[in-house]
Structure 1
Amino acid sequence: MEKVPMTAEGYTSLEAEIKNLKTAERPRIIKLIAEARSHGDLSENAEYHAAKELQGITEARIADLEDKLSRADIIDVSKLKGDQVMFGATVTLIDEDTEDKVKYRIVGEIEGNVKEGKISITSPIARALLGKRKNDVVEVSTPGGGKSYEIVKVEYK
C-alpha cells in the first residue's frame, strides 16, 4: 500500500470530516430515506432515489477518507528546518512578470486548497519548487503558459 503524505493538521481535518459524516450526515440521510418511504410507491419516488444516491455518495466518501487515513504518513513539519523546499514548507514567491508576492504551503494531495494558500505536493508549482532554495528562480508550466517565480523565503512552521 502506498503511503499518503500529510501534515498533522490535515490528518486532524480528515478525522473531523469522517466524524461529521458518520454522526451528522448519516442520520440526516436516514431520516430523508424514511420520510421518502412514507410517501408510498418507491418505484416512482424521486425523493427516495435521491436520498439513496446521497447515501451511496456519503458512504463512498467515508470509505475513501478512512482508506487515506489508514495509509497516512504524518510528517511533523515543526521538526523540519533549513532553506531547501520540502514537504511542509511555506514558501514566499515573487512573480517575476508582475512582481506580485504569493505564499504557499506544500501539503499532501488531499489537503491542497489554493484559496487557503495550500498547494498539493503533486501540483506543478510544488514539483518545480521541491529541492530549490531561497533566491532560486523556478520556471513553472501552467495552463496559462510558463511563469517564473523567485523564492524569497522558505520556512517551516
Structure 2
Amino acid sequence: MAKEILLTHQGIEEAKIELKYLLDEVRPKVIEELVEARNQGDLSENADYDAARKRQAEVEARIKELENMIDKAIIIEDVETDNVQLGSKVELQMLNTKEKLGVKIVGSTEADPFKGYISNESPIAKAIWNKKVGDIVDVKSVDKPYSVKILDIK
C-alpha cells in the first residue's frame, strides 16, 4: 500500500506553485537548451547535450513527484485541540537548556526543520503525540534522550 502523503493547506499550495513553475518556465527552457545542444553536431561527445538531458530527466522526475503528491495528498486541517495532533503548533521548552522551541507537526513530505515544521514520524513528534499542555515528555533521540515540557498547543 502506498504511503499517505500528508500536507497542510500551505504545503499543497507550495507544491502547486512549484509544479506550475516547472511546467511553464523550467521545462520549456530545458527543451530549448536540449535543442541548442543537439544543433551543435556530434552528440556522442557533446557535454552540453549530456548536461541538458540530465537536467531534463531531473525536471521530469520532479514534475512527476509533484503531480503524484498533489493527486494523492491528504490535507491536514488546522485544528485546535487540547492535545498534540497532526497540524498542531506546539511551543516546547527543552528542560536541559530551558530553551523554548516552536514547532508545527506536519507529514514527512512537508517537514522542514528550518521553518519549524517537524515530521509526525520524528522522535520528538512521536513523544509529544496526544500529550497536553503541562506534560513533560522524554524524547528518545538518536544521540541521547532529552526531556521537553509542552507549554502551549494551537
Tell me which interval the TM-score lies in, with the shorter structure as reference length. Answer: over 0.9
| Equivalent position of 1:57 in the other structure | 58
Where 1:153 maps in the other structure, the secondary structure is strand
Given that 2:6 and 2:109 are in contact with CA atoms closer than 8 Å, whether structure 1 keeps it comes out as: no
Describe how 1:119-138 pairs up with structure 2 within 5 A: 119-138=118-137
Query: Counterpart amino acid of 2:71?
Result: S
Displacement of 1:76 in angstroms is: 2.1
Task: Give the total of aligned pairs.
Answer: 153
Shift of 1:2: 4.5
Shift of 1:50: 1.1
Matches within 5 A, 1:61-76: 61-76=62-77
For normalisation by structure 2, the TM-score amounts to: 0.93
Amino acid at match of 2:33: L
* Alignment correspondent of 2:26: 25
* Cα shift readout 1:98-156 (whole Å, capped 9, x = no counterpart): 0000000011211111111111111111111111111111222223311211110111x
What is the CA–CA distance in structure 1 between the aligned matches of 2:132 and 2:144, rounded to whole Å?
23
Structure-2 residue corresponding to 1:143: 142
- Structure 1 Cα separation of the partners of residues 59 and 35 of structure 2: 17
Structure 2 counterpart of 1:39? 40
Q: Distance in 1 between matches of 2:4 and 2:119?
A: 15
Give the equivalent residue in structure 2 for 1:114. 113
In structure 2, the residue corresponding to 1:142 is in which secondary structure? coil
Segments of 5+ residues of structure 2 without an aligned counterpart are none
Letter in 1 for 2:74: D
C-alpha separation between the residues in 1 aligned to 2:153 and 2:111? 18
Q: Equivalent residue of 2:153, what SS?
A: strand
Instruction: Find the residue that maps to 1:73 and give its secondary structure.
Output: strand
Structure 1: give runs of 5+ residues left out of the alignment: none
> Pairwise CA RMSD of aligned residues?
1.2
Taking the aligned partners of 1:150 and 1:29, their CA distance within structure 2 comes to 50
Contact persistence 1:88–1:107 (CA under 8 A): yes
Q: What percent identity do the matched residue pairs reach? A: 37
* SS of residue paired to 1:111: coil
